[in-house]
Each structure stands twice: as structure tokens, then as C-alpha cells.
Structure 1
Amino acid sequence: MAVQGWAPRTKILMHPSTDISGDITGGFVGHCGWSSSLEAIVFGVPITAMPIHLDQPLNAKLVVDLGVGVEVWREDGSYKREEVAKAIELVVVQEGGEQVRKRAKELSARIWERQEEEQTSAAMKKLEQVFGDQTTLNLVKL
């Protein structure tokens, strides 16, 4: 799918076609703005990076260094359609992109695990505030 203008990124990144754990493999092509990069990482979608200016080149480097994306090679600051197609193919289909797809899923899983741990910890603290330390000790014993 190609969208011109504003796109509902979260909805797109959550779409089953971007789920790289099954037979269907998808990816996210973007300029590597901070929000879109984080959203793709959180949802485990590999990134084809096409930075233009400001923070985007640094964010693209981070995406590549984290192993969750590939940056499109450009000549004289211009993107060539062949290079864009090559990078997308690598990220989404080719065997050489397997590590990127795998790393995207792994990092996403770690983020979600951490979030669950933090939510559990916050819930336990709230229980302690309401019922005192004894409640937490009893729950841990269960």
C-alpha cells in the first residue's frame, strides 16, 4: 500500500500484512522521523529508511545500528528508484534481510515485555498504597 500525505501509521503498522512472523512479510518505508521510527520498532516492523533532513539521518543511523532497518543508498543526495526497490526487497523478501526482520520482532517483544513488567510493578505499588505491604506479600506467595 502506498499512501500520499498523512497516513494513520499506527493502524498501518498493526495491520496483519506487516506481521513478519507468518507467511506474509511487510515493512515500513519512511523518512525516519522520530515518532514513525519508534512506532515501527514497537510494532516489530522492519524499516526501509529514506532520511531527508533534520533528525532523520541520525534516526536512520540508529535504525540501521539497532539492526531493525536498512537505509536506501543515494547518489548526490537523490534517491534512485532502483535503489529504493532494492532496499525494500532486501528488508521484506530476500534472505539477506532475514536478520533485520528477526531483530525487529525481537526488539519489539522486549519492549512489550518491559511494558508489561512496568505495568505489573505499578499495579503492585498501587495495591500496596491501598492495602499495605501485606497484600503484596500474600500475592507473591500465591
Structure 2
Amino acid sequence: MRILWGFLSGLVFGLGLVISGMADPAKVLNFLDLAGSWDPSLALVMGGATVTAFIGYRLVWRRPSPVLDQTFDIPKSRSIDRPLVTGAALFGIGWGIGGFCPGPAWTALPLLAPGTLIFLPAMLVGLWGGARIKSSGLLDTKGAAT
């Protein structure tokens, strides 16, 4: 049952990305181009998502547990450390260069655009490499090289 709900949630998310035009990297790149053909629609989509998430969290936190699990899976750490900042910076740089973040990249895959066909494998290699570095112990818990 959990797999079905996960699939349906992903499907709704993906449809939202396609309907809002966020699967088009030009939409993102135009949002970042303040001096050229600036397109504010990404800000409107993010604003709508923020309001939806705010309301959703207020409703969910009233429950004693999630519908499909025993407990909420909440990160324990609240610290802002080097791995977090480095990962966020790499994500932002990749988003600015490619015009994709992971969700829209997956939804754009059926279009077989060359940018998608380059970005998605590169993203997967980066995720794999990051997981390998993290699990190998090359970085300690504070993000410093050992």
C-alpha cells in the first residue's frame, strides 16, 4: 500500500511540474536571468508550493503518527555544517547551469531533450559518488577531510 501511495504522490508531483512548466529548463534559466528575459512564474510556483506545504504541515502535525507509518521520520540534526552548505551550493550551481533540479529532470526525461539526457546521468553519478564518499569515511561528521 505504501508503494502505491508513493507512486501516486510522485505522479501528482510530476504532473504539477509539467502543468506549471517547470519541466522546461528554459523556465528556470529565464527566472535566473534578471537582466534579460526575466520570467517571474517560478517565484509564483514556489510561493504556491510554500503556502501548500505550510498548510499541509499544520494539518499533519496534529496527528499522533503518519497514516502509513508508526512515527514521523524527522532529521535529528539541526546544525548547519560544511556538508550541508557544500551540498546546497553544488545543487544551486547545477540548477543554475543546467536549469534542472531532480524532479523536473525526471519529468522531462520522456521528452528526450539532449540537456536532460546529459543532466540526469550526471546527477545520478554525482549522487552515487557523494554516497560513496560519505560511506567511505573520507569526510568526518563535521565535513572536514580526513
Q: Fold conserved (TM > 0.5)?
A: no
TM-score of the aligned structures, taking structure 2 as reference length: 0.27
**Which has the greater radius of gyration?**
1
Higher strand residue share: 1
Which of the pair has the greater relative contact order for Cα pairs under 8 Å at 6+ separation?
2
* Structure with a larger share of its residues in helix: 2
